[in-house]
Amino acid sequence: MPQPVLSLKNVNVYQDNNAVLNGIDLEVNHGEFLYIIGKTGSGKSSLMKTLYGDLKLREGEGEFVNYNLAKLRERDIPYLRRKIGIVFQDFKLLPDRSVYDNLQFVLRATGWKDKQEMEVKINQVLDKVGMKSAAHKMPHQISGGEQQRIAVARALLNDPEVILADEPTGNLDPQTSVEVMQLLREINQNGKTIIMATHDYALIMKFPAKTLKCDNGTLFEVVQRTV
């Protein structure tokens, strides 16, 4: 039996000193696409932050990409994050660097040294998201949808086991949201596990997948047609 990429048992998720989600039991297997939905403040982002080490797992058991989240030390967090790719709502590109330099910055920060190897990797991920021609543009010279494509490329740089996408279409118009979703589904179909927090129900209907809902302090699976 293959090990799940994520396993949570009786987990309580905290934001500051408030428990926002209680009693979570969850397993995610390699290659799955999982939506986490719910209203603003329902705990979606707090759960995501717990997975990538921004919030401490205080109660329960959690294993994510072979890291014990309950025992995660400060110095382990960069290594955990090398095994996952994170896509945020607001892109988080460095505004004073070109697209290429944004990606090179991440590679350098995660231990890459060889310039030629970095160039090959950057071209590879830009090609994958259809943005090779934008390599030497500045973030302000490309659209929001294009910036999010670059953010997806950045998430792929270290060939992560899992991509965490936290409201990746939140700042995009409906048509661009569909394009970004098509890209994420394509990446998923090539074997990457994707966990995506969203409140965009129209996208979920258009691109159905297993869906969990945060509501009233609990996390539960919802049947697609009732979303």
Domain ranges across the chain: 1-83+200-227
Percentage of the chain with pLDDT > 90? Answer: 85
Give the residue among 92, 97, 197, 111 at the shortest CA–CA distance from 152.
92
Q: Is the pLDDT confidence value at 227 over 60?
A: no
Alpha-carbon separation of residue 150 from 1, 23, 137, 158 (angstroms): 35, 36, 11, 14
Work out whether the CA dihedral 208, 214, 216, 217 comes out positive or negative.
positive
pLDDT at 82 over 60: yes
pLDDT beyond 60 at 65: yes
- Among the listed residues 189, 157, 195, the one whose alpha carbon sits nearest the alpha carbon of residue 51: 195
The CATH number of the domain covering residues in 1-83+200-227: 3.40.50.300
Copy the structure tokens of residue 117: 């190897």
* pLDDT above 90 for 1: no
- φ/ψ of 68, rounded to 5, equals -80, 105
For residue 16, the model assigns a pLDDT of: 86
Mean pLDDT for the stretch of residues 10-16: 93
Q: Report the chain's mean pLDDT, rounded to a whole number.
A: 93
pLDDT at 102: 96
pLDDT at 226: 45
Cα 59 to Cα 215: distance, rounded to the nearest angstrom = 19
